[in-house]
Chain A
Amino acid sequence: MAVLLLGQFSPLFTSLPELTVFLVAILSGLDSGEEIGIGTILGQPFMASSLSYGLVGFSAFFGHVLGKRKSYLEVDRSLILPYILITVFFPLPALPAVIGFRHVFGFVFLAIFALYIWTMYERRQADMIGHAELPYFCRVLSRSHRVMASVQLAFSVALLYYGSEGLVSAVDLVARELGLSPFGVALIVIPAATAIPETASALIWGYRGRDTLSLGSLVGEKVLYSTFYPGLAMLVTS
């Protein structure tokens, strides 16, 4: 069960850069911090729907032109449940802005995410994790796995923090200097940077004709951004 649930929680780990940017933005003390944080949360699904899917489409097209694959993507119907969840729940974070009850909605969204994970576990659609790769530090330095894995984790978290701080202050500066909306700039710039890993893997899968994997690598995080992160944002922002 632990392995199966870990598979469903994996988007939580792969979306750590966005989570770090969100937390750094709202805790930065900048006037536009909250707008940048919320722009990050709402921007990632927008980026996946617009740019990432578009690039996968072009990748499939070029794969077809080069004779590597068909001109369309053959996908599994198992993707229907996450897409229904995204279509229904992604617009709902706009509701508290109109009718209030922000904290109630926040808890409801977190509960829906927990329910989704449980449902996927029950239907056994969670990803299995096979043999995990050794952390990079262990391979290079050949020391104790546990120690070097901890060192690599601490190093990565520090880099994430400083990178996020730089990104948030850069978005704030660009928005102020050019007279643009910080929300609008954050919505485009931050997800464009943080969505690169999953977009790259979706492109590679799409080009090779592994279509369900290609869309699946993009949809996992969108579920998170339709339920978990809006819930978190409603609870921690003013």
Chain B
Amino acid sequence: MRLDIHAYMSISTTVFISFILLYFISKERIPWYCLCTGSLFFIFYTVLIFVYYI
């Protein structure tokens, strides 16, 4: 299985968001804006792929 920068970005984003959610799940309360953090990563990644051809 060959992995490149896309795989590592996907993995690091997913783990980062999971860590944040894990923290809030342990408190049994997740603010809505915390869930929206991931959208920024999605927009950032889409721009990298389709605009900067990474």
Interface residues of A (CB under 8 A from B): 34-35, 38-39, 42-43, 45-51, 53-58, 60-61, 64, 71-77, 79-80, 83-84, 86-87, 90-91, 93-94, 96-97, 102, 178-181, 183-185, 187-188, 211, 215, 233-234, 237
User: What residues on B are CB-neighbors of A53 within 8 Å?
Assistant: 17, 21, 35-36, 38
User: Would you call B31 and A83 a contact (CB within 8 A)?
Assistant: no
User: What residues on A are CB-neighbors of B17 within 8 Å?
Assistant: 49-50, 53
User: Would you call A46 and B13 a contact (CB within 8 A)?
Assistant: yes
Total CB contacts across the A-B interface at under 8 A: 149
Count chain B residues whose beta carbon lies closer than 8 angstroms to a beta carbon of A. 41
Q: List 16 A-B contacts (CB under 8 A).
A: A50-B39, A50-B41, A51-B42, A56-B35, A57-B33, A57-B39, A58-B36, A60-B35, A72-B31, A77-B28, A90-B14, A93-B1, A94-B3, A97-B1, A188-B46, A234-B1
User: What residues on B are CB-neighbors of A54 within 8 Å?
Assistant: 35-39, 42
User: Would you call A97 and B32 a contact (CB within 8 A)?
Assistant: no
User: Would you call A73 and B4 a contact (CB within 8 A)?
Assistant: no
User: Would you call A90 and B28 a contact (CB within 8 A)?
Assistant: no
Shortest CB–CB separation between residue A31 and chain B, in angstroms? 13
User: What residues on A are CB-neighbors of B33 within 8 Å?
Assistant: 57, 61
Q: How far is the CA of A186 from the CA of B37 in the complex (A)?
A: 22
* B window 1-37: CB within 8 A of A: 1-4, 6-8, 10-15, 17-19, 21-22, 24-26, 28-37
